[in-house]
A = this chain, B = another copy of it.
Amino acid sequence: MSPTKYIPALDWLRRYRRADLPGDVIASVIVTIMLIPQSLAYALLANLPPEVGLYASITPLIAYALFGSSRALAVGPVAVVSLMTASAIGGIAAPGTPEHWAAALLLALISGLFLLVLGVARLGFLANLLSHPVISGFISASAILIAASQVKHILGIRISGERLHEILLQIAEQIGAVNWITGLIGVASLAFLFWVRSSLAPTLQRLGLSKGAADLAARAGPVAAVLAATVSVAMLRFDQGAGVKIVGAIPAGLPPLTLPSLDPQLWVDLIPAAVLIAIVGFVESVSVAQSLAAKRRQKIDPDQELVGLGAANIAAALTGGYPVTGGFARSVVNFAAGANTQLAAMLTAILIAVATVFLTPLFFYMPEAVLAATIIVAVLGLVDVKTLRHAWHYSKADAVSLIATAAMVLLFGVETGIMVGVGVSIGLYLWRTSRPHVAIVGQVPGTEHYRNVLRHSVITKPGILALRVDESLYFINARYLEDKVAALVAEQPQVRHFVLICSAINFIDASALESLETIGRNLSDAGVKLHLTEVKGPVMDRLRKVGFTEYLTGEVFLSTHQAFQVLSAGTSEERSAQRANL
């Protein structure tokens, strides 16, 4: 039990190689330049003061670097979690009040503690409750919701409301109140960013840059847009007469130490949202971390990731931030820029701290419209139609979970959406197992194989009905099997032996055991014996323990072939006996 197991930093710091330093330094500079406008933008999205975004990009990075297992993950404010934060704390207090910020701090604390507990208890598998289609539907719909919520900043209008139809309706109502200078800045930024996104990298490559360098330069697009817009506003003083909203004065200095509230009612109010934010943040972060680690044949430990993200959120709560997690674009940039170890993240944190102390006056004239434009362009890349098309093609149930999740997010908000998504995907799974595939089987001529009579031309024996059930038996499908067996035997009155093939039955719960007893009793009343074959070891152990084999009217065979041999011999003997009696 070495401490390095719980604090990976002890391991990588000790083994740090000089050769890793240049990559880590360059990556930290690039990520810092990218992260500053992102922090301000995501704080805006969360309806929090801009400095809160910066504070959430300092100590959480250090905490993750100490406790996290991914080398390239860049932690900080991200779009989806910011939206969820806005939704969670919006109901607690009005934006701009101290209570509103206090709620954000507590939200980060509870999320952090929850992640930490999951990690220490090694319960990371809970994140598996979110299926890929649910995550895809959730992220796509959240991205649309985020983009819609930022339109107000682009147009310089005021809208409240968190649901898509509310937002769209309010935009339509206030289209006359648009601030045209703000709109000009916003639309120009959007156009520029979309151009950067779609065309800059190929153009640069044509001009002779390497692919990697061209991609990195394209990633700097938002920074250029923010810079240009800020300079324009500062020069032309659009904030005065034209009424363009700007970031304004940010208190300079290191993050404050903050003690989240201990008010029990506030805890109770925030726990559900905090748990959802923690799980969503974890799932998003761990997928990024895993895909980056795989590219360099490194491994991440999901349970250690929980500890790292938990520590990051607790750090955010104690230093004026709000919930954070690993960001996709930012981590990719960190990785591509050459980050070799978590030292890159530590250096990024120091650079952001320096910026917070010395550079805040430079952010004064930054227009909110350009920040909103960077958010919109970033999130629209998250809208994922490919997964929907693929799921629709592969399995309608998966497509339904995806669509249900997305629709609920758009219509009722992120929390309802994700809960409905989990509910629907579990419900559809249970539905699928509630009507198991069953097959009457017969012998493939000349072999010991027994296959579905509907799919293969096989030999059956009169008097013997062999049914393979392709599902474990448990309370949800127990009665279905009862009905199925009753119907089959009613259709074939000549049957004397019913063979249940258990090769796909991985367990039988107490309810299904009762159903098996009922089936046995009903078959016995109808003069039919119930036999079992190919019962798996663990299932048989359990059946023996409660003496099921004693009141089984038939036998337990090792294989279906053996059952057919013994039983068809048996039925011939019975027939001979009957004939002898005549």
**A residues whose Cβ falls under 8 Å from a Cβ of B:** 125, 128-134, 294, 297, 390-391, 393-395, 397-398, 425-426, 429-430, 432-434, 436-437, 448, 452, 455, 470-472, 474-480, 503-504, 506-507, 509-511, 513-514, 522, 525, 536-538, 542, 545-546
**Residues of B close to A393: CB separation below 8 A:** 545-546
**Residues of B close to A390: CB separation below 8 A:** 510, 546
Nearest CB in chain B: distance from A284 CB, A: 15
Q: Is the CB of A474 within 8 A of B510?
A: no
Q: Quick one: closest B residue to A391, CB to CB?
A: B510
Question: Measured between alpha carbons, how far is A167 from B42 in the docked complex, in Å?
Answer: 52
Q: Is the CB of A394 within 8 A of B128?
A: no
**Residues of B close to A394: CB separation below 8 A:** 510, 513, 542, 545-546
Q: Given contacts A393-B546, A542-B394, are A476 and B128 in contact (CB under 8 A)? A: yes
Q: Is the CB of B475 within 8 A of A511?
A: no
**Residues of B close to A397: CB separation below 8 A:** 509
Q: Is the CB of B125 within 8 A of A479?
A: yes
Q: Is the CB of A475 within 8 A of B128?
A: yes
Taking a contact as CB atoms closer than 8 A, the residue among B128, B395, B455 that contacts A479 in the complex is B128
Q: Given contacts A393-B546, A455-B537, are A128 and B506 in contact (CB under 8 A)? A: no
Question: Measured between alpha carbons, how far is A542 from B396 in the docked complex, in Å?
Answer: 11
Q: Given contacts A394-B545, A434-B125, are A297 and B525 in contact (CB under 8 A)? A: yes
Q: Is the CB of B480 within 8 A of A128?
A: yes
Q: Is the CB of B542 within 8 A of A511?
A: no
**Residues of B close to A448: CB separation below 8 A:** 448
Q: Is the CB of A132 within 8 A of B510?
A: yes
- A-B contacts, 10 of them at CB < 8 A, read A129-B476, A131-B474, A131-B475, A132-B510, A393-B546, A397-B509, A429-B475, A470-B536, A471-B506, A504-B504
**Residues of B close to A437: CB separation below 8 A:** 506, 538
Q: Given contacts A125-B479, A128-B480, A132-B475, are A294 and B522 in contact (CB under 8 A)? A: yes
**Residues of B close to A545: CB separation below 8 A:** 393-394
**Residues of B close to A514: CB separation below 8 A:** 132
**Residues of B close to A131: CB separation below 8 A:** 474-476, 509-511
The 10 lowest CB-CB distance pairs between A and B, nearest first, are A131-B475, A398-B510, A132-B511, A470-B506, A131-B511, A391-B510, A394-B546, A128-B476, A504-B504, A394-B510
**Residues of B close to A536: CB separation below 8 A:** 470
Question: Measured between alpha carbons, how far is A434 from B513 in the docked complex, in Å?
Answer: 21
Q: Is the CB of A510 within 8 A of B395?
A: yes
**Residues of B close to A476: CB separation below 8 A:** 128-129, 131, 429
Nearest CB in chain B: distance from A122 CB, A: 12
Q: Quick one: closest B residue to A451, CB to CB?
A: B537
**Residues of B close to A429: CB separation below 8 A:** 474-476, 509
Question: Measured between alpha carbons, how far is A236 from B114 in the docked complex, in Å?
Answer: 66
Q: Is the CB of A452 within 8 A of B525?
A: no
Apart from the given pairs A131-B509, A297-B525, 13 other A-B contacts in the complex at a CB distance below 8 Å: A125-B479, A125-B480, A131-B475, A131-B510, A394-B545, A394-B546, A437-B506, A455-B537, A470-B506, A470-B536, A471-B472, A503-B503, A503-B504
Q: Quick one: closest B residue to A290, CB to CB?
A: B518
**Residues of B close to A472: CB separation below 8 A:** 433, 471
**Residues of B close to A475: CB separation below 8 A:** 128-132, 134, 425, 429
